[in-house]
Amino acid sequence: RSTDLVRNFKRRDAVVVTVLLAAALSYYIYTPMPDAIQEPWKLMAVDATFRTGMNLGFDSTMVALVGSRSPAGVVPGVKISDITFAGVPVRVYEPPAGGEGHLRRGLMYLHGGGWAFGSGKMGAYDKVSRVISDELNTVVVSVEYRLFPEVLFPEPFLDCVVAAKHFLSPEVLDKYAIDPERVAVSGDSAGGNLAAAVAQEVLAEPRILDSCDSPAANSDEILSVKFSVQALIYPVLQALDFNTPSYVQNRNMAILPRQVMVQFWLQYLGADISLRPQLIANNHSALQHSALTPELRSRLDWTSLLSQKFKKSYKPVVVERDSHGLLKKIPGLLDTRSSPLLAGPEVLAKCPRTYILTCEFDVLRDEGLMYARRLKDAGVSVTSDYYEDGFHGCLSFISWPLDFDVGKRALRSYMTWLQNNL
């Protein structure tokens, strides 16, 4: 009897422990989700993995989420080469050879990851690059720009500029049989930021760049070939207002809550993470800053650039004074190479035909919409592709078991636009 009693106590203890662990796990995973999100528990699980990654290291977490690095070599139908463009590592995807003298499209892709993690070689990015290369007869160049903490702004941008200028050179376009009139730059999230900034850079007048330790030694050369289109997927475009309607509405949204995006910005610009509360309060864009002229502020004034559908009943957060001298501590906040939305209309007018994908449940929604509006006002042809049930990063979740219907729809729409416009 005593033996049976001990066994019963052990079984009961095991059940209690199991229930407590399950409850703790559910509590950790659970995040309130908007009703429009399909399969909310799946997204909660993904989000919990991301939050774990913030503590344990993003590289291993991203591998688990979006797939391991694909081996170099030949993928059925597409030739893959890991090489360098002027010292910058890239992965080149070449479609099956076409007819004699047949020219192909070209696409330079810049992966997302908050300028801190990720790789174009990871499963989701690699899969999309292979599909685009094969289905659209496109030479895709995925750039492995350097990341935080190895480098800070502007080094990732300079890496991408170097790779872009090498890619756009007549010699390289001829080598890969790419039509110089059909070359695109594209990217998602932080990669969308870099794509927009690179597009502005190569289309503007040449200038000398401070290369620091970057291989961008010849950044001031004049290019005879320019990007014909840019395709930006939920891009990061500004860091002066963290209280836009989408930032406030989605401040606790899965995958990319506001505090994480602000942390990515501080890391990228080499600032102390302890300043995060100051930026979330918009102290860095206080009215006292003479550098923030009315003209500059108008370039990201969501009260005039957004439609009422997105403004809703939100109010601007405007601070009178900044007692911390934030703009002096973080000068990169005003640099158009980090914040393409701040570029003047004369720069935007030179931008190529543009595709911008935005999602309702994304802190970055409004800056994508504002950039689309400003480009249109500057005379650029823009396709704004908005998903009412979309969330940040959805296009990376297209393979079982972490597949979402909105991600598959977004990918197909993105590829259709490229097919029709590139």
Query: Annotated catalytic sites, by residue?
Result: 189, 362, 392
Q: Which helix (H) or strand (E) holds 14?
A: helix 2-29
Phi and psi at residue 388, to the nearest 5° = -65, -25
Q: Which residue has the tokens 């942390």?
A: 263
Q: Compute φ and ψ for 185, nearest 5 degrees.
A: -120, 135
| Amino acid at site 79 | K
Which of 274, 280, 288, 301 is CA-nearest to residue 328?
A: 288
Give the separation between CA 152 and CA 39, rounded to whole angstroms. 37
d(CA 135, CA 107): 13
Q: What's the Rg (C-alpha) of the chain?
A: 23
Closest CA to 208 of 221, 223, 227, 199: 221
Using CA atoms, how far apart are residues 195 and 187, in angstroms rounded to an integer? 6
**Is the C-alpha dihedral spanning 194, 199, 200, 202 positive or negative?**
positive
| Separation CA 340–CA 195 (nearest Å) | 10
Please report where in the chains the tokens 């720069």 appear, as a residue. Answer: 347
- Which phi and psi angles does 126 have, rounded to 5°? -60, -40
d(CA 166, CA 244): 37
Helices (H), ranges, 218-344: 245-249, 258-268, 276-280, 294-298, 302-305, 308-311, 326-329
Q: Return the exposure string of 52-91: e unless at least 16 CB atoms fall within 10 Å of the residue's CB, then b.
A: ebeeeebbebbbebbbeebeeeebeebebeeeebbebbbb
Burial class (CB in 10 A: 0-12, 13-18, 19+), 366: buried
Strand 73-75 and strand 78-85: pairing?
A: antiparallel
Q: Give the DSSP letter string of 259-283.
A: HHHHHHHHHHTT--GGGHHHHHTTG
